[in-house]
């Protein structure tokens, strides 16, 4: 028994030494992480190594446990004590199951927690609270093909037909090559859950049972890249030798899984990666890992591992004829920040990631001298209702962000609303409408 709270209060000191400011248990791992393979294969271990080194531990390295998709990160205190962190990466669902069984301190997930999981874990506190649900990175699901496949783009309806087995040949989707071979992540995978939600379920379809299933992201990607008739879906860092397609959703433009489009979550198959930290009975190493991950050092590790860091930067946007004239003018004179504010479903309240991003955007504005009339907010809505209402709501959401910036000393240049124009997703489903309800930040 580790008695973390007692250690933190200065009790039970004979049972622990210290790594930096963190207690080290007498026996067993200092931290246990379970869940997403997308996170746990490389990003999670890299973040743990970064935290250990930040705490002053020596000889930090990874050890093979002999079990597939599991590893142990070890370090040494200055007085020679061994510190261990165990990471098991068998899929997002396994992380939440382990929280329920008290066999992990932190759940890694490549999808949001489900309502059923939230209910089952209610004894641990509200896992949807801003402190418990931590967005650690942005990822994009890449649809991958053999490098020699001539196809360049697909829409989400075609994807659903392919992966459900309804479209069985490449000719059925405008390409060549004969029968389609399907590759997919396994049932425990958050990557699979995300694909199912964003593509299959929206079209009322299920994955074709003939699809080859993989627990390992790397193995899936390598299999597709070696099969001229293959198609699969994978997290962005695992494209490897395969070819990624451009994706269309509804009336959106075709979008490749580019860093800029994923950072703003405009790419149709972008997704958030999470750590879930139980509000009650916290392990201080878990909180330290979350804090380190959200720091500049942690986000640099996120980027190094092929995911999209949440670091705010300015991006030039090339105007084109499909943009409203006012948006073209903005593109010619200002730069867009690499973050979109999005909202809780059915409201103008900022979601958990938006609350995290406010601090980052404010830091950028202050560091770059943009406090005085150098910032414009641009709101967008969805076409579920009449255009006039969409226009109004797009402005109201922009005003919600304005209130938070003004509280912190920012004088805005302008607040604009473009209603339901320039959708980034289909408006036929709730998920698409949520993506379209966004606020962009532009700086002069």
Per-residue pLDDT tens listing for the chain (444 residues) = 343 443 343 333 333 456 678 999 999 999 999 999 999 999 999 999 999 999 999 999 999 899 999 999 999 999 999 999 999 999 999 999 999 999 999 999 999 999 999 999 999 999 999 999 999 999 999 999 999 999 999 999 999 999 999 999 999 999 999 999 999 999 999 899 899 988 999 899 999 999 999 999 999 999 999 999 999 999 999 999 999 999 999 888 999 999 999 999 999 999 999 999 999 878 999 999 999 999 999 999 999 999 999 999 999 999 999 899 999 999 999 999 999 998 776 567 888 999 899 999 999 999 999 999 999 999 998 876 677 778 888 888 899 999 999 999 999 999 999 988 998 888 777 777 888 889 999 999
Q: In the chain, what are the domains?
A: 4-132+277-304 (3.40.190.10), 139-263 (3.40.190.10), 312-443 (3.30.1330.60)
Q: Read off the pTM.
A: 0.84
Q: Which residues contact 302 (CB under 8 A, 6 or more apart)?
A: 43, 47, 136, 137, 293, 308, 309, 310
**Vertex 182: Cα angle to 177 and 186 (nearest 5):** 165
Task: Tell me the DSSP string of 350-413.
Answer: B-HHHHHHHHHHHHHHHHTT-TBT-EEEEEE--SSS-HHHHHHHHHHHHHHHHHHHHHTT-B-S
Q: Encoding tokens for residue 93? A: 């669902």
Residue 425 burial (C-beta neighbours within 10 Å; 0-12, 13-18, 19+): buried
Reported in sequence order, the residue ranges of 193-245 that DSSP labels E, i.e. its strands, are 212-214, 230-235, 243-244
Q: How far apart are CA 228 and CA 343, in angstroms?
A: 41
Q: Which residues contact 105 (CB under 8 A, 6 or more apart)?
A: 31, 32, 33, 278, 282, 283, 285, 286
End-to-end CA distance of the chain: 56
């Amino acid at each position: 028994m580790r008695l973390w709270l007692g250690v933190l209060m200065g009790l039970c000191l004979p049972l622990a030494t210290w790594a930096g400011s963190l207690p080290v248990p007498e026996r067993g791992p200092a931290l246990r992480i379970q869940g997403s393979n997308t996170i746990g294969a490389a990003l999670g271990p890299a973040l743990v190594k970064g935290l250990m080194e930040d705490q002053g531990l020596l000889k930090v390295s990874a050890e093979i446990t002999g079990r597939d998709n599991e590893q142990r990160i070890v370090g040494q205190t200055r007085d020679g004590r061994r510190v261990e962190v165990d990471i098991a990466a068998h899929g997002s669902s396994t992380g939440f199951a382990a929280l329920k069984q008290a066999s992990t301190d932190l759940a890694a997930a490549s999808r949001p927690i489900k309502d059923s999981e939230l209910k089952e874990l209610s004894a641990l506190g509200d896992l949807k609270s801003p402190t418990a649900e931590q967005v650690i990175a942005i990822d994009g699901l890449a649809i991958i093909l053999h490098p020699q496949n001539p196809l360049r783009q697909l829409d989400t309806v075609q994807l659903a037909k392919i992966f459900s087995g309804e479209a069985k040949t490449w000719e059925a989707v405008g390409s060549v090559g004969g029968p389609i071979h399907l590759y997919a992540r396994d049932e425990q995978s958050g990557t699979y859950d995300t694909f199912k939600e964003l593509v299959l379920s929206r079209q009322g379809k299920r994955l074709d049972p003939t699809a080859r299933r993989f627990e390992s992201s790397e193995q899936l990607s390598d299999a597709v890249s070696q099969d001229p008739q293959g198609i699969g879906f994978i997290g962005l860092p695992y494209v490897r030798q395969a070819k990624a397609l451009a994706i269309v959703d509804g009336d959106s433009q075709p979008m490749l899984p580019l860093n800029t489009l994923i950072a703003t979550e405009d790419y149709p198959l972008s997704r958030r990666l999470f750590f879930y930290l139980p509000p009650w009975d916290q392990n201080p190493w878990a909180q330290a890992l979350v804090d380190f991950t959200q720091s500049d050092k942690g986000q640099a590790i996120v980027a190094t591992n092929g995911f999209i860091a949440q670091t705010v930067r300015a991006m030039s946007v090339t105007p084109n004829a499909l943009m409203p004239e006012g948006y073209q003018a903005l593109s010619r004179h200002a730069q867009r920040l690499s973050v979109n504010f999005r909202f809780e479903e059915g409201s103008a309240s900022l979601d958990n990631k938006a609350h995290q991003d406010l601090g980052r955007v404010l830091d950028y504005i202050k560091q770059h001298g943009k406090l005085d009339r150098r910032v414009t907010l641009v709101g967008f809505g969805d076409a579920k209702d009449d255009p006039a209402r969409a226009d109004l709501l797009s402005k109201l959401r922009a005003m919600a962000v304005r209130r938070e910036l003004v509280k912190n000393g920012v004088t805005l240049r302008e607040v604009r609303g473009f209603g339901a124009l320039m959708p980034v997703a289909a408006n036929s489903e709730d998920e698409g409408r949520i993506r379209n309800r966004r606020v962009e930040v532009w700086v002069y």
